[in-house]
Amino acid sequence: MGDLTYIFIIFAKVTLIFVAVISGCAYSTWLERKLLGRFQQRMGPTYVGPFGLLQPLADGLKLIFKEDVVPSQAQKIFFMVAPIIAFIPGFVAFAVVPIGPPIELFGQTIPLVISDLNIGILFILATTSLGIYGIALGGWSSGSKYSLLGGIRSSAQMISYEVAYGLSIIPVIMMSGTLSLTELVNQQAAVADWFVFKNPFAFLIFWICVVAETNRAPFDMAEAESELVGGYHTEYSSMRFSMFFVGEYGNMITGSAVAATVFLGGWQGPFSPGPWWLVAKVIMLMISFIWLRATFPRIRYDQLMNLGWKVLFPLALANVVITGVVMYLF
């Protein structure tokens, strides 16, 4: 394969995945409004396009034309950079997520993954934790005590749940013997081999940590309106606010894709393996995000910390030990 061909293929894959994730973020807002409407016995978006399908486009245009306000007390450079830092990591993580089996195109075998790193899981852990810097920086640079408290809360929340998040994946690494996401998917070719069935406890801990790390209800303490006005993004408007907004949904999609890849077989399915299985699993997990928001009230901050350090951390550690003992004995 020539250098130019290789560069073109990489560029095409990056563009395809970026457009797919951005579109997914937009229509996740539509899906959330529709589902929350049904949960609350109302319709959700209906007027903008058929079934309200053009509502995300209308929201985007509205944010573009809103006034971009920068508080006089803000640290302006950091204030402007923070949304970008929060926006990017969720998309970078997709570089190692395989979206389908290799395909033959123009006589070339093209793997449907941007980079098949043999340390893919470590790359995921590293990149998904970077978004917190944008949130903390945005809260601090706004010059508002409410924004600062939201940024500090989000930082403490990420640290608390990152430990259990990492520990929940270790049993899968122990059972599979690999850090490559592509190899993990290959080992889950049969539904019975999905790691969610081999270690459902690890999946449960992992998913709770994903919900907490994305600041989603009932763990949305960084944005608690009743206490912090709007949290870390209180002082943001226009497209800078939208970058925080889209970044949150990007992190949700990334977390769902990682969960689907590590525990649910990725693009593998009962029949006809392909990218559609990964998409279906991501949609299913996104619906669970929304369902949790509609079901549970926001927990108190002390309960949030206690759950992370006193419940999930010891349970995740115990699960690693039990998995090791079972593998040694059997």
Residue 171 lies in a domain: yes
Average pLDDT rounded to a whole number, residues 118-134: 90
CB 28 within 8 A of CB 257: no
The yes-or-no verdict on residue 203 having pLDDT over 80 is: yes
Residue 154 lies in a domain: yes
CB 214 within 8 A of CB 207: no
The yes-or-no verdict on residue 260 having pLDDT over 90 is: yes
Tokens of 252: 């949700």
Residue 173 lies in a domain: yes
Average pLDDT rounded to a whole number, residues 240-269: 93
* Nearest partner of 165 among 319, 328, 322, judged by Cα: 319
Residue 276 lies in a domain: yes
For 69-74, which contacts have Cβ atoms below 8 Å and span 24 or more sequence positions? 69/235, 69/237, 69/238, 71/142, 71/143, 71/144, 71/235, 72/143, 73/143, 73/144, 74/141, 74/142, 74/143, 74/235
pTM for this structure?
0.93
Residue 263 lies in a domain: yes
Residue 49 lies in a domain: no
Express as a percent the part of the chain with pLDDT over 90. Answer: 59
Cis peptide before 98 (omega within 30 of 0): no
Count of structural domains, the chain: 1
Domain that holds residue 240: 65-100+116-329
Average pLDDT rounded to a whole number, residues 73-100: 90
Confidence of residue 2 (pLDDT cuts 50, 70, 90): low
* Nearest partner of 253 among 278, 232, 219, 218, judged by Cα: 278
Tokens of 80: 């402007």
Residue 22 lies in a domain: no
Residue 56 lies in a domain: no
Render pLDDT for 7-58 as a digit per residue (tens, 0 to 9).
888 888 999 999 999 999 999 999 999 999 999 999 999 999 999 999 999 9
At residue 112, φ and ψ (nearest 5 deg) are -85, 60
The yes-or-no verdict on residue 230 having pLDDT over 60 is: yes
CB 235 within 8 A of CB 229: no
Average pLDDT rounded to a whole number, residues 112-121: 91
CB 29 within 8 A of CB 59: yes
Average pLDDT rounded to a whole number, residues 228-233: 80
d(CA 47, CA 35): 16
Ranges of beta strands (E only) in the chain are: 100-105, 108-112
The CA-based dihedral angle spanning residues 299, 216, 185, 187, taken in that order and rounded to the nearest 10 degrees: 0
Instruction: Give the largest CA-CA distance in the chain.
Output: 65
